[in-house]
Structure 1
Amino acid sequence: MKHLKLIFITFLSISIFVSCSSDDTVNIDPETLSPLEAYEEFDIAYGSDSEQVFDLYLPPNRNSDTKIIILVHGGGWTSGDKTDMADIAEIIKLQLPNYAIANINYRLADEDNFAYPMQINDITSVVDYLENNQDIYTISDDIGFIGASAGAHLSMLWSYAFDTESQVDMVCSIVGPTNFTDPAYLDNPVFQELSSAFGITLTIDFLEEMSPYHRVTSSAPPTILFYGGEDPLIPSSQGMDMSDILQELNVTHEFNFYPSEGHGWGGANWIDSVIRLKGFIETHM
């Protein structure tokens, strides 16, 4: 997603007030954090691991109905950083100025720490942190997700299977894996990353357990999907099959397919994606 900055840099303006915290609790006097003013806080710790941090962007003139968009980066579950989603955060600030943003890091998988359920647990911790401090930040407990690649997988999986309080208003998948039992995915080179990240014998039951396609229900939140037809990592069937099951379950959704694009894109198609995502968020959040 780093290439997005080249497209939108001329449109972006940044007004930043910074406060850094490494503590698990908010050490802010709520009377000094005016909801009339924009506020930004970086590397907020939501756990004891150094990777369990997120950046928070709060809009001016917010109130208890101000909703939060959570950004989840990609990187094959083993790499990546919240900075990869920084350009999307800036686009949201410009195009959707009434929304709060949480741009998160999560613990990366390695040979001793498997991605699932560790990274799902991290998302739960972020959501709990925001909910526990919503009065201080002057935000609601309604959230939306925008995830890219592996982050899109995590966003969908959490929204479909782990949102026990029905807090998610919408979820966006940008080239995210959806179905790990799809033969087209099993034969794809990225599956080797999956085997490494999850570090166990991948049974069909386990693959289904961590597949949004197999966990989605008719109560799933509105979902918007973006996929490229020439993606070398994510077969186009991942997006198409997800759209089909959402249609079968009568879940509000939108499927956007760019036949000539790969694992991410720029130019006119990215501008089209931004416009479509903006409209979807405004409609469903």
Structure 2
Amino acid sequence: MRILFVCLLTMLFFASCKKKEDANAAKTFLNVKYGTDAKQAMDVYLPAGRSTTGTPVLILIHGGGWTEGSRNDLNVFVDTLKRRLPNYAIFNISYRLAANGQNLFPAQENDVKAAVEFIFSKRNEYAVSDRFAFIGASAGAHLALLQAYKYSTPVKAKAVVSFFGPTELVQMYNNPPNPLVPLLLASVTGATPSSNPVLYQQSSPYTFAIAGVAPTLLLHGSNDLIVAPSQSTLLHTKLTAANVPSQSVVYNGAGHGDWDAATYADAFAKVAVFLKQYHP
């Protein structure tokens, strides 16, 4: 009986250790819902050894002109970021798309805010910290910047990275790099800058770029014919004047996301350095 008792204690001990190890192992949760719409979902990548004090959160937001695309478009971003920043918890989110007069601005902005609130509410369950940073591409960069600058609750962003994102929508409408841009903006907002100036102002990260906002890394191609590189330059100038840490990188000859492997490698190397500095 004594031998049996010792064996049972040993089994319970190892089972308890295994549970603790499993609880802290790397985990992936796909298609986690943060709202009732099918697009209101995210993929969650949690690193091993995480904790509520030591694990920073990185939220990825896809592009597609606010009308198309999905978080799957950024799976390659997830892979490279996991390699470069293995201690980060990564949340790759989708949001409702504007189409056929439905889900117009600020639906996408509201969805990003809802996703942030959901992640924040789950931080103890996921064992992640309250140190949030954002990375977005194109329209997703616009949404990342807007969230980082405009909202300080439930959490204030520590850093934000924009891959060729719109920053000032009135300028983008009035000085487009191609004639389709104003049509796109009018279709996703349901208005023009003259018919609804408040919506354009409130939907522009530039409006909220004041002292104290998150340090910002802006990455753009010099030959971008969808989002003019001046959009990043304009924001960088305002951030610099407000003494906000800001870096602007323009890749000569690069277009709107159709970058070669070497350019993306350089960009992600800069992203890793930037986040380690401002969002360790």
The verdict on a shared fold, with TM-score over 0.5 as the criterion, is: yes
Distance 1:161 1:260, change over 3 A: same
Q: Deviations over 1:94-129 (max 9, x none)?
A: 110000000000011123323422111111111111
Calculate the TM-score normalised by the size of structure 1. Answer: 0.85
- AA of the residue aligned to 1:141: D
CA RMSD, 1 decimal: 1.7
1:191 corresponds in structure 2 to 182
- 5 Å matches for 1:1-285? 34-65=22-53, 66-182=55-171, 183-185=174-176, 188-202=179-193, 203-264=196-257, 265-285=259-279
- Looking at structure 1, the residues matched to 65 and 21 of structure 2 have their Cα atoms a distance apart, in angstroms, of 37
* Aligned residues of 2:63 and 2:138 also touching (Cα < 8 A): yes
SS in 2 for 1:164: coil
Between stretches 38-47 and 187-196, larger displacement belongs to 187-196
- Looking at structure 2, the residues matched to 159 and 136 of structure 1 have their Cα atoms a distance apart, in angstroms, of 23
- In structure 1, runs of 5+ residues without a counterpart are 1-30
Offset at residue 200 of structure 1 (A): 2.8
Q: Sequence identity, in percent?
A: 34
- AA of the residue aligned to 2:156: Q
- Looking at structure 1, the residues matched to 73 and 219 of structure 2 have their Cα atoms a distance apart, in angstroms, of 17
- In structure 2, runs of 5+ residues without a counterpart are 1-18
- Looking at structure 2, the residues matched to 267 and 57 of structure 1 have their Cα atoms a distance apart, in angstroms, of 24
- Looking at structure 2, the residues matched to 250 and 164 of structure 1 have their Cα atoms a distance apart, in angstroms, of 22
* Aligned residues of 1:225 and 1:255 also touching (Cα < 8 A): yes
Between stretches 187-196 and 220-229, larger displacement belongs to 187-196
- AA of the residue aligned to 2:218: L
More helix by share: 2
- Looking at structure 1, the residues matched to 177 and 203 of structure 2 have their Cα atoms a distance apart, in angstroms, of 14
- Looking at structure 1, the residues matched to 114 and 21 of structure 2 have their Cα atoms a distance apart, in angstroms, of 23
- Looking at structure 1, the residues matched to 261 and 30 of structure 2 have their Cα atoms a distance apart, in angstroms, of 30
2:9 corresponds in structure 1 to none
Higher-Rg member (1/2): 2
* Aligned residues of 2:137 and 2:163 also touching (Cα < 8 A): yes
Distance 1:276 1:219, change over 3 A: same
Distance 1:280 1:149, change over 3 A: same
